[in-house]
Amino acid sequence: AQTVTQSQPEMSVQEAETVTLSCTYDTSESDYYLFWYKQPPSRQMILVIRQEAYKQQNATENRFSVNFQKAAKSFSLKISDSQLGDAAMYFCAYIFASGTYKYIFGTGTRLKVLA
């Protein structure tokens, strides 16, 4: 079964500190894309970062970076210099080459940023 697991329902980080959100997935596919989406209180899902499975280099977007371990099927998100505006639900998701191309989402991690 194609699944995405986010084992941390909630996490807290002090402003300006670094936090890592974990995500593991289960797939037999070799070609897929992984994503982190942020959902603030406004509820709009915002794309944070995208990783192509066949690329070894970890994706980076400003303060956001991933640690992609393909063999371990792990895709963690690191947020550096955390800001109050980073407080949100974070969803890990992936889409794979075969099948119906629909996204499979994890259950989310709620991130609180403490001032």
Annotate each residue in 45-84 with x if it binds another protein (CB under 8 A) or - if it does not, as one string: xxx--x----------------------------------
- From residue 94, how far is each of 26, 35, 60, 67, 69 by CA, in Å? 10, 6, 17, 15, 14
Task: Check residue 13 for interaction with another protein (CB under 8 A).
Answer: no
Tokens read off for 28: 């037999």
Closest separation in Å from C-beta 14 to another protein: 28
First to last CA, the chain: 41
Contact positions vs another protein (CB under 8 A): 31, 33, 35, 37, 42-47, 50, 91, 93, 95-97, 100-103, 105-108
